[in-house]
Structure 1
Amino acid sequence: MLLRDFFIQLSENELLNSTAKKYGPKLGAQSVIAGTTIEETIASIKELNTHNISCTIDNLGEFVSSEIEATQAKEQILAVIEAIHENAVDAHISLKPSHLGLDIDVDFCYDNLYEIVEKAAAYDIFVNFDMENYDRLQTSFDMVEELAKTFDNVGTVIQAYFYRAKDDIEKFKNQRLRIVKGAYKEPVEIAFQDKLDIDLNFIELIEYHLLNGKFTSIATHDHNVIAHVKRFVADNNIPNDKFEFQMLYGFRTDMQKALAKEGYNFCVYVPFGEDWYGYFMRRLAERPQNINLVTKKVFTKKTNTVLAVAAGAFVLGRLTKRNK
């Protein structure tokens, strides 16, 4: 738990985020992101598609505090949607409302989201609303619910560590949902703290939506969970077109290809852009063992010992001081 909290604190450090953005290539960021440009990302997606693996694309962004930044993020996502269509790749969009202005003005954010969903709908492209910390949760759900009144290409994420998750999955059972464990630090009043409790709720949510929901995206790198789901869908005669497994870009790639080869729907969460540091720290907070799952060393041999201690915080700190 201490290690998890530490990684979350690193993800929220603006100085480390900005330094990582500058030094991403030196730190091996290409191991955890599909590219820094749309063109690089589309090339990565085309390669994944050759293995019958679909993708969900996340335009990374942290600490959006102005309408200009949010508008730039919107324009980038609209360009990604256009690129998906023009290149005819098997991919859809994942986005965070905070990246589109949620912390600035709710109506402004909703207008940005509406424009994105509308354009995606015109190309029959799905848009998934990633959920963030608890303070943003209900407002984000409200916007998903409102957009779903007009569009049928929106879905969202249910985080298993929240006590309210069972109520939320019931409410949104008629939508495509991604089920995750959760990657933010939340207090005991609203969220499970024990890994076993989170794991048990995660399985319960997956089973509920597989039996009652529209489509289930099971986001996990845990082979035990995957084996459980395989048995569950077989025992309950749930067809493969009702669910998919999801993993992060660059993690357990052999298992990704194996599951796709077995005939399961498989989707890779594909982040791109320079704002990779907060994203990666939250992945380590979710599961510190993820350090060992990256296909290539995230850091070079020269800095690998640093990764074991602070996932690059020390290296970034030194780079920051050196350039003051």
Structure 2
Amino acid sequence: MELVTRDFFLFLSKNNVMNRMAKNWGIGFVRGKMIGGNNFNESLVYIKKLNDQGMTATVDHLGEFVGSSEVARERAEEVIHTIETIARENVNAQVSLKMTSLGLDIDEKLVRENMTRILETAEKHQIMVTIDMEDEARCQKTLDIFKEFRLRYSNVSTVIQAYLYRSESDLDELNPLRPFLRLVKGAYKESPKVAFPDKSDVDQNYKTLIRKQLLSGNYTAIATHDDHMIAYAKQLAKDNQIPASQFEFQMLYGMRNATQQALVKDGYNVRVYVPYGDDWYGYFMRRLAERPANIAFAFKGMTKK
């Protein structure tokens, strides 16, 4: 049943008709509940509230698979504007972005030009930029770009997905760079040739990645809503005397609010992923596909006052 639910929402995430309809509807019923707003300035009020509650944020201008060099450069300008606004407004936030939004499917030279401009701005303001991981077909290119820029810049991180067979070896290969990594389970539909088809195997691999990354001494973002994974990470840190300053839990805006606040109360770092922009539909469907419990979390978040 879980596999059917996942496939259903992944199918919906790629439905162009539904995506166009969602844009036409606007984001009124998810703004401030699941999405920050149409633009970053609209999202600032929600980020400041998170900061007031002891949480930090990472923000993402939604949209991927850009097919035009002009649009890719516009996306880069948006990221630069966001970084500069974070610095000017003095909010505790970082930035996440996708390589396909900067032109990965067009020209890798274009991506490198856009990333250089972004990371020059990020270094100036000491704001972390996380390169989100996309589907497996783009994984190697994304990691190659990350490794290249990690040698030149300190404020760049990336994401490792537990459902891919390759992820443990990727973690080992990245370790010499002393990377800040976000660990996730994964949200794209992949072939059994490259990804674990069974949830139990994904969960076990996720624990393996968490353990390796935490014990390496590298800063770790554990992005999960799964109570069992949260408990596992907390116990692992306790057993190995890993300080809370070495890792953080990451959750999606509008989901598990009480859990986020409880973790902060217990002394853990919590970062909330706050997306913004009108291209929200695909993001929302993939979040529902990740695990059935997210459907309940999303409904609760969308109906809160």
Same fold per superposition (TM over 0.5): yes
Contact 1:130/1:156 (<8 A) preserved? yes
- The one-letter amino acid paired with 1:64 is V
Identical positions, percent? 46
Name the counterpart of 1:244.
248
State the distance in 2 between where 1:32 and 1:95 align.
18
Distance of aligned partners of 1:212 and 1:66 in 2 relative to their CA distance in 1, 3 Å threshold: same
What 5-or-longer segments of structure 1 have no aligned partner? 301-324
CA-CA distance at 1:25 after TM superposition: 3.3
The answer to whether the aligner puts 1:234 opposite 2:243 as a matched pair is no
Name the counterpart of 2:140.
138
State the distance in 1 between where 2:300 and 2:30 align.
9
The answer to whether the aligner puts 1:103 opposite 2:101 as a matched pair is no
The answer to whether the aligner puts 1:7 opposite 2:9 as a matched pair is yes
Q: Please state whether the residue corresponding to 2:293 is helix, strand or coil.
A: helix
Name the counterpart of 1:188.
192
The answer to whether the aligner puts 1:272 opposite 2:272 as a matched pair is no
Which stretch of structure 1 is more off in the superposition, 71-80 or 290-299?
290-299
State the distance in 2 between where 1:76 and 1:228 align.
37
State the distance in 2 between where 1:297 and 1:48 align.
15
State the distance in 1 between where 2:303 and 2:65 align.
24
State the distance in 2 between where 1:120 and 1:99 align.
18
Write out aligned runs for 1:292-303 (5 A).
292-294=296-298, 296=300, 298=302
Q: Please state whether the residue corresponding to 2:134 is helix, strand or coil.
A: coil
CA-CA distance at 1:27 after TM superposition: 4.6
Contact 1:253/1:295 (<8 A) preserved? no
Aligned residues, how many? 300
Distance of aligned partners of 1:155 and 1:130 in 2 relative to their CA distance in 1, 3 Å threshold: same
Write out aligned runs for 1:20-35 (5 A).
20-25=22-27, 27-35=29-37
Distance of aligned partners of 1:167 and 1:149 in 2 relative to their CA distance in 1, 3 Å threshold: same
**TM-score of the aligned structures, taking structure 1 as reference length:** 0.89
Write out aligned runs for 1:161-240 (5 A).
161-173=163-175, 174-240=178-244
State the distance in 2 between where 1:51 and 1:232 align.
26
Contact 1:62/1:278 (<8 A) preserved? no
Name the counterpart of 2:258.
254
State the distance in 2 between where 1:224 and 1:87 align.
36
Distance of aligned partners of 1:299 and 1:99 in 2 relative to their CA distance in 1, 3 Å threshold: farther
- The one-letter amino acid paired with 1:44 is Y
Name the counterpart of 2:119.
117
Which stretch of structure 1 is more off in the superposition, 80-89 or 54-63?
54-63
CA-CA distance at 1:105 after TM superposition: 0.9
CA-CA distance at 1:224 after TM superposition: 1.4
CA-CA distance at 1:99 after TM superposition: 0.6
Q: Please state whether the residue corresponding to 1:93 is helix, strand or coil.
A: strand
The counterpart of 2:38, out of the listed 36, 46, 57, is 36
